[in-house]
Amino acid sequence: MIKRSYYKQKIWLGTFGMGGYVTSDPNNDDERDVEAIRYAIKKGIFQIDTSESYAGGKTEMLIGEAIKCFSRNRLVIATKVREYNLFYDAVIESCKKSLERLQTSYIDVYYIHKQNPEIPINETIAALNKLLDMGLIKNIGLSNVGIDTIKKYSQLLKKPVYAVQNQYNLVCRESQRKKIIDYCRKNRIRFIAWRPIRLLYPGCPDPFYPEGTYKLLDEVAKKYNKTNVQIAVKWLLQQDCVEIVFKSSNKDHIDEILDTENFEILYEDWKRLDEEFPVQLEVGCTANNYFEVT
């Protein structure tokens, strides 16, 4: 069983949708989002994940506002540079703009959001190494990648790759099938599952594991007196190197996720979910390897 002191370190608060989606939403309830971030921190979620592309940068601004009242060294802030900004100068400029919006002097984890085959990877890596030297970033992460890309970055970066963030959940298992999680485990790289509870299953009327859609999930949830979402999340978190990033502006939902700390799925039930849950065909399931470096 995971030690309680470590458990919350496997949970990241995602922020996609806060402030808007692709662009800033003028009708967004900014106060609600700021309060949700603060609530999560007060409940012990100190790791916050975002991107320069979320709401055109507004999401980073909301985080900057939310974290003002907390000690910065308690927090782990991760953001991402988008695939269009991977030229050397653009990476440096993107990082500096993110720092301004986040109102912080450094970024704990700086991700490449997605690979861009039109931009030489060596140019991107040179910029990341420069940011490390400048002290503007502490660690480097990769998102939506496969093993070849991880190896390439690992060979040229001044620091080991800190984290890999790919889509991974009960339905989308590409990172499992392609041994990406195993590779991360063997190389002491944190594997962080984005969209840990989101389904893209054809015909599913609701993206969050509604009762009646998956008989096996209903059965296991009933056994432990937990929600389907909690069982799906726990299946991930009981994998030793797997962490999750989830987004919510709803305090009850945040509490629901945190309550997964208070129970353990027996191995036989975990194994049934792993082996018997209907895995979706990978077409459209994930962005992994779309921009794989070879």
Residues acting as catalytic residues: 54
Structure tokens at 122: 């060596």
Question: Quick one: residue 284, left, alpha or beta (phi over 0 = left, psi -120 to 50 = alpha)?
Answer: left
Helices vs strands, H then E, count in the chain: 12, 8
Structure tokens at 236: 């991930």
CB atoms within 10 A of CB 159: 13
Whether 75 and 46 have beta carbons less than 8 Å apart is answered as yes
| Helix locations, the chain, DSSP H | 4-7, 30-42, 58-66, 88-102, 121-134, 147-156, 174-177, 180-186, 215-224, 228-237, 251-258, 267-276
Whether 246 and 13 have beta carbons less than 8 Å apart is answered as yes
- Burial (0-12, 13-18, 19+ Cβ within 10 Å), 49: buried
**Long-range CB contacts for residues 239-243, cutoff 8 Å, separation at least 24:** 239/181, 240/185, 241/181, 241/184, 241/185, 241/189, 241/190, 241/191, 242/10, 242/168, 242/181, 242/191, 242/192, 242/193, 243/9, 243/10, 243/11, 243/12, 243/190, 243/191, 243/192, 243/193
